[in-house]
Chain A
């Protein structure tokens, strides 16, 4: 654990050296507010690949300087000068020894790089050595759903994990419900915690992840998945073990049923029945008792325990919820009318919106 901390402290210097490689060091000084920064690993599954790429980047930098240096030297040294006598230079056709040199040396360098690369591939993909937690990730157009099989918890957009514990994500993709018939490929990517891995409908892929420090790590879908691909973001919130246990306890408690006669109770009624319009409950779930039955839309049981919604592109507050219910397409591009993906506009009246928002805000 300690060496991890050490390597984390050195990472700003390392990321700087990799930038040098790209010849853009001047502009790096300002990268402090980059939160989705792949050069700033915050866990072992991001740190390992980072430690592998830095030496490679340095080798690439050396080769870069060598080749560009040769080009610049040739350009300066062998330019035709003003006092040129018009004679032709010596006609050299090649040099076998040199050909061998620049075939063998790069091949050896690459062979040297190949060994740790192959080791790294297996380390990255195998199950973690320590005891790990499993979270199932399902990619929908355009939001991530998380299911905790050990605790029977469904949540969306924000994945909560305990710090210092390896998490193995078991991932797939499906639209709109849990059938792969309409799913498309997504990719789950939280750069500071791990590289990305695609989510493929009909298959399960795996990704290891671990956070060293509590915090909110941001990421997004990294495989183009259609209209609102840009609006499919994700968060991983790492908590101390105590906080995580509190969260689990909260999530495994059924939602409160509001008291009769309150605005919230009216909202709950509308949630289940909107007359001839489709009710919220036909796509979403608010678990009150019995078994949890996941539905096609995000689970709303403890909606307000999350900070963001709509693919984690909007803060979860009253104003945004109102606008979302009034006209979801104005907040996120969706295509419910075309192929049933996303939130439909339910033509709610302002009174209905008042009641529904009151109900949703009470889902703590």
Chain B
């Protein structure tokens, strides 16, 4: 029934091969065929995912777990890993929005990248390669294949951040993302080995999810906690959490569709997917869940404070992504795994939308990213304005839109499972989110236009290939919440029921009344409206206010504007010492010891040669004499040896 499932990752792979091998020639002869190939590859994967999804829905609840083994990958003794895919509610939810949003962004990229510098075929090859890796990541039925996808998306992220590598800053941003991710991947690998060995001790030589989770109880508590925490370090790098979030804001150096697809909607959520997938392990270790929740809440809060003061439109969105990812981890940490995944899905809709709109704004303004030189675009690019406003309302948590349901679900579980402090942080963050997102809207679309005269003349709405995906995503941002309307609001929370077979529940949430839920909901809505109102006052009504506040709280404003100096602190504590050590190893060890040894040997041989060359006179007869003496010696030796 699910025998064709291997085709889902293979379609993008075919796109990679065709565009990667023939792309250069196609670009010169028939440029549009490149995006036809790339988009149809992802489109087919999406269609197939939808078909698979409905087939899975047709099965009764408990049977919704199908594993398809394609072929065996590694065998070493009892240990074996296969290239195999797992179809269950969680992987289907992930795969649906990954391929769906991915498809929309592929289409958007046509309009955005067609006349941009850089190789067109290379862009689509990387994008398809990313889709291939990401599908492997979410569909894998074992940790190792998932890790393969995990590394694959990291590599594509690096390649695409540095897509315009002729600018050194972009190349550096790519490098930073890659190296930061290596730190996390290292911890991830250690966790993987630890898991493999500690299960192997009990005879379970397998990394299949079902096997591992079935036998997880065999591992001692301490090992489970260690494994979970190490995996979580990997997740903090991939999903941009404290302390390894620093790469994500810099990753905005890449093309905007890439920021939308990789650094907002899909790749950065793989950490959340991973923890939700491993919820059995995390449920066994309350400590690690606590850590996840606290880190998530802190990241959400801190990133939101930074987003308040940024002027670069993409940076605001980047910090908002970090902050929203923090929410998701908060949800996971308090045991509401389904709520976390729900927020992943809705977030992918509205954040992808916001990035695409930002790209459209930049497209209109000759790649201007600084919001101080925008403004008044409401009338000039109406489609972008309306879709972006909808996305902003969704992320701010306007009642009835998708972000409202998923965010409140997380906050409700945080409160209900007994973390009032984290709930408070979450609610304040929600207010800040509303504030900075509307600050972005007001600075970009309201008031007078502050762009230069040249730029103003060319302001135009983006082509259809860009506005259509934006419209689709805007619709999804509005209605996306319908899959998870909580019971208190008359819904049935379909996504939670759908995910139930995969999720291990931690702590009950029945001991709080519905009225508490209403109250919390009202509180967060009120705070959101305060945030919006504040933004309106500060950026439309009394526009001298932000400046006054900035001068009044000078140190606070500078600290926020400079991202709490985290990059500088990291540079001082980690990068500089490592750099100094490297310089020492280079100049002290490599140059002196290793090069010295190599050159020393060469010098010694050379000196011997210069002495020995005296013998080489070049006279034939001199050689003949030495030859004669040598022969005479050999003869004498053999004669005496025989005697």
A joins B in a complex: no
Q: Which residues of B come within 8 Å of A, CB atoms?
A: none
Q: Which residues of A come within 8 Å of B, CB atoms?
A: none
